[in-house]
Structure 1
């Protein structure tokens, strides 16, 4: 019987740890979420081999991990007529015709606001 109590307590603590890492839905206006979206789009543009910049078209899923500042987001990005080095990409028109491209991505971003640091933990993208 004495072995059952520590085993039960260990399983309970493990269950609490696993449950604490679940993502939960949040408002798109939640603190730090918008900045994480901007970071994800910036990171995509920096690492995409395309010479043209992509801009945000749509935000789908918006979630965060409980008890953390880790955000999960589904974003749709569109290819613009502007090059990556151009300024004001948000106001740049989208490509039309055969050059038109959109990408759906899922990003997981960890933000540390006290040091203004962002870390991309994971990203997956599919071109449409």
Structure 2
């Protein structure tokens, strides 16, 4: 029993360190990051009250929480001339002139790739 106490203490210390770890910068080409960005933009288009779809303009920040598959991303999105039901949003032109709209968003996405499951943990968007 005496040997189990240090092992248990070490396990508790490790778990608390993992749970409190911060996000670290990652490459925009990191495993699963592009899928998380695509999911976040799709979710934004589903819930944002606008008839036009938005598409990714720029990734401002790409991070992952250490020892997890939780990704934090800051994205700039631009409003297109296409409706949300259009299929080819990547090739859809952006709104121009007085109708032009852009938003800055921060998303936190948890991915379970073995289940093809995404969870949006947090999102905040501000119109520019």
Sort the TM-score into its range (normalised by shorter chain): 0.7 to 0.9
Shift of 1:15: 5.5
Which string of whole-angstrom CA distances, capped at 9 and with x for unpartnered residues, describes residues 3-38 of structure 1? xxx9xx59x82752454x310000000000000000
TM-score by length of 2: 0.87
- Unmatched runs of 5 consecutive residues or more in structure 2: 1-5
Instruction: Write out aligned runs for 1:26-41 (5 A).
Output: 26-41=26-41
Shift of 1:80: 0.3
Q: Which residue is 1:3 aligned to?
A: none
TM-score by length of 1: 0.87
Aligned residues: 120
Q: Which residue is 2:70 aligned to?
A: 70
Hey, which bits of structure 1, 4+ residues long, moved more than 3 A? Answer: none
- Unmatched runs of 5 consecutive residues or more in structure 1: 1-5
> In 2, distance between residues paired with 1:82 and 1:15?
47
Query: What is the aligned-residue RMSD (CA, Å)?
Result: 1.9
